[in-house]
Amino acid sequence: MSLFDKAKAKAEELVGRATEVYGESHGDAAAEAAGEARRLEGEAEEEALEAREHGDRPGPH
């Protein structure tokens, strides 16, 4: 919930997107897949932080 956690999640998403774009532009499937995974991980962390901040609980109820 801290600003640091939000910034860390956003940075993870952005680095993942950059790696994904690098993989796409250079025909590197491994980099593309790794970047996509890292981007999705960052997005999921951001969503979890937002849910906790608003009192929602992620996952099945």
Tens digits of per-residue pLDDT, 3-36? 899 999 999 999 999 999 999 999 999 999 999 9
Side-chain-facing half-sphere of 26: CA atoms under 13 Å: 12
Is residue 21 a part of any domain in this protein?
yes
Give yes or no for residue 59 having a pLDDT over 90.
no
In contact, 15 and 23? CB cutoff 8 Å: no
Is residue 60 a part of any domain in this protein?
no
Structurally, the chain folds into a number of domains equal to 1
Is residue 61 a part of any domain in this protein?
no
Is residue 18 a part of any domain in this protein?
yes
Show the domain range for 9: 3-53
What is the arithmetic mean of pLDDT over 41-50? 94
**pTM for the structure as a whole:** 0.79
